[in-house]
């Protein structure tokens, strides 16, 4: 999936690494060293398919740069790059129209996945044309819940997908789709000691097959996809060994039918 990407970042070494990573994947890349020059290079947006935008820069910061770019081109596909990710920043950036986030430092795979996802969403948003796009996202119309991560991955419960392999009592399986639409099955195992800990603290039984543990498993998988930028190796399963104490009051009230 070729495209033209504008990198706006005040750190020259980071721009260089991003450029080399994206050029190796077939993209054309432009650079700007601060927000003001970034907005100037963006122009009316017709020359760029996506923008990689640093959040913390001297002078005009990333949010103000995002705002000005969106004023020029509301449909601009902007990926924020930051070492200072927070819920507040995410909310502010999403309100201004950011499409995605990548954390610094990032692997080449995380960067390419974020850009691939941004361009794929652009293609799917365009009017229908002769022939299908090169790549299509995987859709499961019968899935009850679809989880979507901020870096372009999505996943559904394997039990919601026809033909998926059965799940053991202490396992929660998911079908993960990469930003390019490639699928694989991922298993999250619930550690018996973690289940026993919750039972001791709440004084009630909450079997590993409960939907409470499905939610915990989905959070673990989502965090892995966000932090690593790829699905677990096919031969590797994730194991849920810890639980936040803030989840214990929820566990106390959880209905086993849920």
pLDDT tens track for 100-153? 777 777 778 878 878 887 777 654 444 433 334 444 444 544 444 566 665 678
Residue 9 within a domain: yes
Note whether 108 and 219 are same-domain residues. Answer: no
Any idea what the CATH number is for the domain that residue 49 is in?
3.40.50.2300
Who's near 29: CB < 8 A, 6+ residues apart? 4, 5, 6, 7, 18, 19, 22, 23
Residue 258 within a domain: no
Last residue of a domain, one of 91, 125, 159: 125
On whether the CB atoms of residues 229 and 110 are closer than 8 A, the answer is yes
Q: Are strands 154-157 and 146-148 parallel, antiparallel or unpaired?
A: antiparallel
Q: Say if residue 258's pLDDT is above 50.
A: no
Number of domains in the chain: 2
| pLDDT class of 49 with cuts at 50, 70, 90 | very high
Q: Alpha-carbon distance 112 to 230, whole Å?
A: 11
- Average the pLDDT over 15-24 and give the result: 90
Q: What domain range is 24 assigned to?
A: 4-125
Is the pLDDT higher at 117 or at 155?
Answer: 155
On whether the CB atoms of residues 75 and 118 are closer than 8 A, the answer is no
Residue 87 within a domain: yes
Q: Alpha-carbon distance 154 to 174, whole Å?
A: 10
Q: What is the pLDDT of residue 43?
A: 95
Note whether 82 and 186 are same-domain residues. Answer: no
Q: What is the pLDDT of residue 98?
A: 81
| pLDDT class of 254 with cuts at 50, 70, 90 | confident
Q: What is the pLDDT of residue 40?
A: 96
């Amino acid at each position: 999936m070729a495209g033209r990407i504008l990198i706006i970042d005040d750190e020259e070494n980071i721009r260089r690494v991003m450029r080399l990573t994206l050029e190796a994947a077939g993209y054309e890349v432009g650079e700007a060293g601060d927000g003001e020059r970034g907005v100037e290079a963006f122009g009316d947006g017709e020359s760029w398919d996506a923008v990689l935008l640093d959040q913390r820069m001297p002078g005009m910061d990333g949010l103000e740069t995002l705002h000005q770019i969106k004023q020029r081109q509301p449909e601009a596909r902007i990926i924020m790059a930051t070492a200072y990710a927070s819920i507040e920043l995410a909310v502010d950036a999403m309100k201004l129209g950011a499409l995605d986030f990548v954390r610094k430092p990032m692997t080449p795979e995380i960067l390419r996945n974020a850009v691939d996802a941004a361009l794929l969403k652009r293609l799917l948003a365009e009017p229908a044309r002769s022939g299908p796009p090169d790549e299509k996202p995987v859709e499961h119309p019968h899935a009850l819940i679809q989880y979507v991560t901020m870096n372009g991955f999505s996943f559904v419960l394997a039990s919601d997908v026809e033909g998926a392999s059965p799940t053991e009592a202490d396992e929660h399986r998911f079908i993960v789709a990469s930003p390019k639409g490639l699928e694989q099955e991922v298993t999250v195992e619930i550690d018996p000691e973690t289940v026993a800990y919750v039972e001791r603290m709440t004084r009630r039984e909450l079997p590993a097959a409960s939907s409470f543990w499905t939610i915990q498993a989905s959070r673990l998988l989502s965090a892995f996809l966000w932090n690593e930028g790829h699905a677990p190796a096919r031969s590797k399963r994730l194991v849920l060994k810890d639980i936040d104490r803030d989840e214990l009051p929820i566990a106390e009230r959880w209905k086993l039918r849920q």
